[in-house]
Amino acid sequence: MKETVIVLGGGIIGLSCALELQRRGHQAIVLETGRCGGQASGAAAGMLAPYSENVEGPDEFFQLCRESLALYPSWQHAVREVSGASFEYTESGSLYVASHAADLLVLEGRLLWQREHGSSGRLVEGEELRRLEPMLSPTIQAALYTPEESHVYAPDFVKALEAGCRKLGVQIHEQLEQLTSSVIGGEVVVTAASGAVFSGSLLLVCSGAWAQELEEALDVRLPIYPIRGQICAYEMEPGEPVRHMVFGPQGYLVAKANGTLVCGASEDVAGFDTTVTERGIERLRKWNKQLFPHLAERMPFHRWAGLRPATQDGLPLIGRVPGRERVILAAGHYRNGILLSPATAMLAADIIEGKGYAAFKQAFEPGRFGAPVLR
Ligand code: FAD
Ligand code: GLY
């Protein structure tokens, strides 16, 4: 059955879901309170790094991340084809650095389980490490090299997704204020302050860090919170290559094809405030120069911040809302929404079409936190 799906939110999750639904013959209508890609998705470093970002073990979150990484080559190709737009997608591999013997032990432990889950990673040191990353500080003893990881330039990728959606016939409405949703006679109706009314058969909520606003209306607890990420970029000079994504416990650096070196990112509890602070950027600078001494005297030319949608248990909420058969949620992707966008789009579309999916994905069911807590 062909559905008309109203998608709340034009970040990477909403746009990816809309694109996939439209590709499958449904009609998607994206409603966005700001501009598409104007929040977390446009602020992201664009790393597709399930191994470097999941350090604990192969839980359900890691499994979804890994599945999504495997989808990326064909997904980004499809976005390129349908949009006609260009964007960076680089299969760079990554290095997770160890400064001390204790760090190395941790990396060895991680490698053991990651090699059983699709990584061809290995520990590199000495000459080989210098060859892979010549500008890296001599104080770095070793690194875990993971060739499978890659990255996109997120702002361009989101623009391409938006262009692809439009070309396929997705209706996109931006800068809408005070959206209220209701189900009337088996139909979803969304009204904006301007008086505009949108109707469809289903509502797909992809409003990232703002999804909690619908808790009362949907009568389900949605513990999704904004965690600010402050991030900055340096101009790279010729002859100073940074070839891989470089991770450490305090952050990451990723060189982009446009000649910038992106360095992130803080994790601040600051509500919906996207201010960039001197302290936040100084902390990043201090760490950057420990890894790359050539950055010691440099100042980032660009600083920005975005709001990651964090959840209480660290897992996104993807699935039907209990007791609200016409409402589906896809939000709470925290640090990995760029990576998780194709897997989320496939899962949301499968749920809408009533298709089965792997049992581990039940861990993402939005009803798992129960009813809203009365305030
Ligand atoms: P958003 O992009 O925030 O989109 C939600 C949209 O919903 C917004 O545009 C908002 O305006 C809109 N909205 C809000 N309320 C409503 C409403 N009521 N109705 C309609 N629309 C509404 N992830 C990675 O995978 N790799 C990375 O390297 C990476 N780096 C990051 C670096 C930083 C500094 C930050 C902040 C995040 C990073 N992330 C990364 C995380 C990633 O950006 C997020 O997980 C992802 O962007 C979430 O996408 P989203 O579409 O759910 O949210
Ligand atoms: N995934 C990188 C970040 O969220 O900062």
- Name residues contacting ligand 2 (CB within 6 A): 45, 47, 53, 229, 264-265, 308, 335
Question: Per-residue pLDDT for the chain (375 aa), expressed as one digit of tens each?
Answer: 999 999 999 999 999 999 999 999 999 999 999 999 999 999 999 999 999 999 889 999 999 999 999 999 999 999 999 999 999 999 999 999 999 889 999 999 999 999 999 999 999 999 999 999 999 999 999 999 999 999 999 999 999 999 999 999 999 999 999 999 998 888 999 999 999 999 999 999 999 999 999 999 999 999 999 999 999 999 999 999 999 999 998 999 999 999 999 999 999 999 999 999 999 999 999 999 999 999 999 999 999 999 999 999 999 999 999 999 999 999 999 999 999 999 999 999 999 999 999 999 999 999 999 999 866
Q: Tokens in use for 89?
A: 């997608």
Q: Tokens in use for 243?
A: 């070839």
Which ligand lies nearest the alpha carbon of 330?
A: 1
Show the domains of the chain with their CATH numbers: 4-76+154-224+315-369 (3.50.50.60)
Task: Residue 32: name the closest of 162, 222, 145, 119 by CA.
Answer: 162
Q: Are 332 and 315 in contact (CB under 8 A)?
A: yes
Which ligand lies nearest the alpha carbon of 48?
A: 1
- Its pTM stands at 0.98
Give residue 208 CA to ligand 1 midpoint distance, Å: 5
Q: Are 33 and 10 in contact (CB under 8 A)?
A: no
Beta strands in the chain (DSSP E): 4-8, 27-31, 47-48, 89-90, 94-98, 122-125, 142-146, 150-152, 171-173, 180-184, 187-191, 197-200, 202-205, 224-235, 245-248, 251-255, 260-264, 302-311, 317-321, 324-331
Give residue 231 CA to ligand 1 midpoint distance, Å: 14
User: Which residue among 210, 261, 263, 283 has the greatest number of ligand 1 atoms within 8 angstroms of its CB, and so is best to mutate?
Assistant: 210
